[in-house]
Chain A
Amino acid sequence: MTNGHVLHQLSAWAGQDLLPKDQDLVEAHLAVCVGCRAEAERLREARAWLQEAMDPPFEATDHAALQAAILARVPQEPAPRRIARLRLRALGLTAALLLLALWPGLRRGLSPAPASPKVASHPEASVFPSLPPRLEAVQRKLRALPKPPEARSRVAPKLAPIQVARLEFQTSDPSIRIIWLANDAATSAPNPSLLEAP
């Protein structure tokens, strides 16, 4: 109640939407308060007018015409079928289990692939664990590259100095040359081209 009055509760009271004890409190107040009682009467009157005004105006012929129109259109609709809820649930459960089983693979697929130059920019990492002897020298060259500065920021790669090492190998196929661009900047941008015609 506000200052003992119940004006703000009256519309809920009119719909009997108050708790029983609040409903009783409002009624007790209305018995003694002329102002609130007048407001309650105004609400009651408005509800009565609403019910009178919103009495549906349809006659039997309206109902018959509508029913006929509905039933004339129903045959054009496909026959309804009960949804097999158990089957739906089993299908959902199977899909969830499948997703769960595939999730590690999906995550790997979604995460950006580690770019080879990034790996090459850390010489202490074993970049070529089982390379032929000819490439051992390359690995040594990579290790000889200057170490990247620590705590390089990913958000501002343009500010960091970028050192690029270009290493080329001729494969047994004369039309294929492998070019390694060893970039010490941490980046997920794809290597522009690993294969280049001579």
Chain B
Amino acid sequence: MSQGFEAVLSEEALPLRPAAEDPLGILADRVLAGDTEAFGELVARTEPRILGLAWRILGDRDLARDAAQEAYLRAFRFLGSYRRGESFEPWLVRIAVHACYDLSKKRGPLPVVPEILESFVSEDGPLPADEAVLLRQRRDLVRRALSDLPEGERAALVLRDLEGYSTEEAARILGVRPVTVRSQAATARAKLAAACARLMAPKGGRP
């Protein structure tokens, strides 16, 4: 078991809510009671979100699939540590984030993308025929800028601005204080905006 995941099990508990209000929690209880088919239902309900989250953190389809699969296997293995009444999805997201951290350490360098898009930008804006290429390259550059962020800032930004978690929820998932998430997310936004401005700049400076 990785060091990161050991931390998962010892972190502060996620918010409690009556199990009756959390259908995923009910499914988890059924799995714990021996109904392993309920785990299939649990996977079906949560997998799109977990896979999307893993892809947003890792920026790689294959790695994201591996991370999501690993997250579910860990979740099944350690389902006993899930507290009855605890909100299930943040518990699962926490495991997924740590699975992503573990896999990101094994990732090699990202494929090189063009450093700037200026070749497709004229003074009157992008040429229509090149708009699709420009859009694809802009996506690549934004993804590259996101992946260049430090792990904590990237996770904070993904959870806050892409996954829609509140600062407090993101803090509990990441096992840090809310003020840390605020700071990391704000720093990440500023870095990303600066990177976008730099990468998309026409010759000679900012747009």
Contact = CB atoms under 8 A, between A and B. Distances in A.
- A and B, one complex? yes
Interface of A: 10-12, 14-15, 17, 42-43, 45-47, 49-54, 56-58, 62-63, 66-67, 69-71, 73-75, 77-83, 85
Contact of A45 (B36, B72, B186, B196): B196
A42 B32 CA distance: 49
Contact of A50 (B81, B84, B146): B146
A16 B143 CA distance: 23
Interface stretch (B47-55, B92-100, B103-111, B123-131): B47-55
Interface in B30-63: 31-32, 34, 36, 39-40, 43-44, 47-48, 51-52, 55-56, 61
A57 B61 contact: yes
Nearest to B191: A11
Given A50-B161, A66-B69, A11 B189 contact: yes
Nearest to A18: B182
Contacts of B40: 67, 71
Contact of A71 (B43, B161, B190): B43
B47 A17 contact: no
Given A66-B69, A79-B34, 11 more contacts: A10-B190, A42-B193, A42-B196, A56-B48, A56-B52, A69-B65, A74-B72, A77-B77, A80-B31, A81-B80, A85-B83
Contacts of A51: 161-162
B32 A82 contact: yes
A50 to B, nearest CB: 6
Interface in B142-162: 142-143, 146, 157-158, 160-162
Contacts of A11: 185-187, 189-190, 193
Contact of A49 (B36, B81, B187, B196): B196
Interface of B: 31-32, 34, 36, 39-40, 43-44, 47-48, 51-52, 55-56, 61, 65, 68-69, 72-73, 76-81, 83-84, 138-139, 142-143, 146, 157-158, 160-162, 167, 182, 185-187, 189-190, 192-193, 196-197
A71 B193 CA distance: 41
Contacts of A58: 48, 51-52, 55, 61
A70 B72 contact: yes
B32 A50 contact: no
Contacts of B139: 52-53
Nearest to B81: A83
Given A11-B187, A73-B73, A74-B39, A49 B51 contact: no
A15 B161 contact: yes
A73 B55 CA distance: 21
B186 to A, nearest CB: 4
A66 B142 contact: no
A34 to B, nearest CB: 15
Contact of B186 (A17, A53, A75): A17
